[in-house]
Structures are given as C-alpha cells and as structure tokens.
Amino acid sequence: MFNCNSLSLLNFTYYFKLSLGICMVIIPFIFLEYLVIRIIRYKEKHHKINKYFIKKRFKEFFYIVVIFLLAYTLNSVIQTPNNKCSLYANRKVISAYKDNLEVVNNSNLSDNSKKEYMDKVLTMAYDNYTKGKTTDITLKLKQEIKKEESVKVEKLNNTNNFLNETDNKKLNGVYVQNGVFYYKGYISGNYSTYSGTNCPSNPLKEGYNNPYGYNNYFYNRLTKFIEEANKNGYKITMSTQGCRTYQTQVNYYNTMERGRAAPPGWSLHGLGIASDLEFYQKDGSVCPSGRNDYSCPSMGWAHQNASKFGLTFPLLYASYREDWHIEPINKQKY
C-alpha cells in the first residue's frame, strides 16, 4: 500500500484539502450572501422583482452549486482509507513527521530502514491524533533505532568472527580449528600428501557447500568478502576452479613460465583453500594487467580489507607478483 512517506506530498495534500474546503464552504457562502444582498437591493430600488433579473440570479446560483458539488466529489474521492496522504494531512501528523525526520536521518540505518521508521512515525502520530493516544514518538523512535543499530553491529561482528570457526571433519584433508586451516604438508614420495589428488568430482554431493570444490569455511569467507565488496560498489568474482587437480597443476607447471605456477603437489589450489579473483572497473571491464591498487579500485579495496574476513593475498610481494591470489590468513601444516 502507498504510504505517503514524504514531507512535500503531505504538505501538498494538506493544502489541497484546505482549498477543497474553501471551495465547498467559504466560496458558496460568500456568493450566496452576495446574491441575497443583490436581490434585496434590487427590490428596494424597483419595489418589485423582474422575471429576467431572477432568471439571471438562478444561473449564478447554479454555478455556486456546481463549484460545491465538484469540490465535494473530489474531496470524497481522495478521502479513501487507502489514501494515507489524505488521512495524514493534518498539522499534528505533519509536524510530528518534521520533528522526527532528523532523528531518523542521523541514524546509521539503511535507507529502507529509515523509510520504515518514518512510516512508523506517521502511524503513531495518526494514532495520537485520532485515538487520543499519548505516545512519545521521538523517545520511542530513539529507543528502537538504538536497538536496531546494536543488532546490526553484533551481526557484523559475528560475520567476521572467523576465529570461532572449528570443525574437525576433514574436507580434502583440511580441517579448521579456531579459525586456523590445518592441511597435510607435502612429503616427497608420499602421494597422499600431494595437493590436487583429493578434489571432489561432485562437490555438492560430497559434503561441500559450493559446486566448485572450495573448502566450506574458505568459501564462506570468500563469499562474505565479495558480498561486502559488492555492497561498497566494487565488483570482484572468484574463480569457478575451487579445487585444482594434480594433473591440471602438472599442465600449468609444464606450460607456464618458471616461478609462475607452484610445483605439482604443492599448490593450495589443490586443497580448496586458495582462489584466483577477478577484479573489475566501475564500467564493468576487467582490470588490465599492470594495474595497481589505485588504477583498479576494486583490487585496492580487496587488498585493504581481506584481513577483516580472515583472508590474505600472500603473493603481493613474491618475485612473481600475483595480486589476484587469495588464501585464508591462518594456515598450518600437520
């Protein structure tokens, strides 16, 4: 339902209703009086009333009735219970709206929440006005906003409280304790310790929360991180290659420049705890190579905020810089 949540709309409706009231009552009243006075004066002057004179007066009277009926009809049309503007268009409700607009606008809430609070102000002010309630609107508003703001902060803290993560169930040989990712260290000749040898072939059916084969906890951190980036207007995407098989790593190693790909068996990509991100410009194009944190603001944001989400870019200062390669911040071999 349309809620008439705007000061200018409320004011407009108020003055519109006022002018309808004037058209319905004051104008007809003044003209009627004027008509009567004219008739009386005419009679005083001529001692009797002419037929044509009366006919003319009837015409004027007809116009008065038409103005009244038009205003009356318009007024009944806008006075429906669905038209909140018309219900709320009175001085008391409008001044309550004005008084509390600043309280709501100064809060840290989203625009949608602010709108909801102003809806509440209107309902409370209307109840005060029509049902004789005496709610202290500003006080109630401040209490509710404070409550919502604290819930919001708590939620954010929980979101980023990755140090609470503990799950001893191994996925691809990786488990998590107090936010630290434990993974099997590479032992030469011990094939079971090679990364990429345990990638799931159907992740969603094998206990993973994503179709790519990323470790569940790493995936959660990445998702929250990317969501927050998007909220701030930066487009970032994660690679759909969540778990790189040993064979793929062999191919990369053999075809890429030395130092570019980790030796087969070593890469954290094969354990589902590394990802390669794609960074985008405002116009939707991919940030080109040779970029830096300033020429590619989405990457700048990512490099600056990763740690808040339990993530890190470990190859920023490597001899072969990989500004897109991201991993969990706390890792340990077992």
Q: Which is nearer to Zn ion, 60 or 276 (CB)?
A: 276
Residues 6 or more apart from 118 whose CB is under 8 A from it?
5, 97, 100, 101, 104
For the bound state, the minimum distance from the C-beta of residue 276 to Zn ion, rounded and expressed in Å, comes to 4
Footprint of Zn ion on residues 150-179 (CB under 5 A)? none
Q: Which range in 14-22, 91-99, 223-231, 319-327 contacts Zn ion by CB under 5 A?
A: 319-327
Nearer to Zn ion, 157 or 319 (CB): 319
- The residue count for binding Zn ion (CB under 5 A) is 2
Q: Is 182 in contact with 192 (CB distance < 8 Å)? A: no
Among 325, 327, 329, 331, binds Zn ion (CB under 5 A): 325
CB of 217 to Zn ion, least distance (A): 18
- Specify burial of residue 99 (Cβ count, 10 A radius: 0-12, 13-18, 19+): middle
CB of residue 267 to Zn ion, shortest distance in Å: 7
Alpha helix stretches (DSSP H) within 79-214: 84-88, 91-105, 111-130, 137-159
Q: Between 154 and 276, whose beta carbon lies closer to Zn ion?
A: 276
Shortest distance, position 275 Cβ to Zn ion, whole Å: 7
CB of 166 to Zn ion, least distance (A): 26
The count of other CB atoms within 10 Å of the CB of residue 219 is: 21
Asked if 250 and 264 count as a contact pair (C-beta separation under 8 A), the reply is yes
We find the least distance from the C-beta atom of residue 85 to Zn ion, in angstroms, to be 57
Q: How far apart are CA 13 and CA 11, in angstroms?
A: 5
Cβ distance to Zn ion smaller for residue 88 or 324 = 324
Residues contacting 234, CB < 8 A, separation 6+: 279, 280, 297, 298, 301, 302
Report d(CA 305, CA 295) in Å as an integer: 17
* CB closer to Zn ion out of 112 and 319: 319
Determine phi and psi for 236, rounding to 5 degrees. -135, 140
CA distances from residue 1 to 81, 84, 85, 130, 210 in whole angstroms, order as listed: 11, 9, 11, 20, 39
Beta bridge partners of 331: 181
Q: Which of residues 274-313 bind Zn ion (CB under 5 A)?
A: 276
Tell me the residue nearest to Zn ion as measured from the CB: 325
- Return the number of the residue (227 or 276) whose C-beta is nearest Zn ion: 276
Q: Which is nearer to Zn ion, 13 or 172 (CB)?
A: 172
Q: Are strands 180-183 and 331-333 parallel, antiparallel or unpaired?
A: parallel
Report 258-277 residues binding Zn ion (CB under 5 A): 276
Contact region for Zn ion (CB under 5 A) — 34-42, 233-241, 293-301, 318-326?
318-326
Tell the smallest beta-carbon distance from residue 274 to Zn ion (Å). 5
Point out which residues bind Zn ion (CB under 5 A): 276, 325
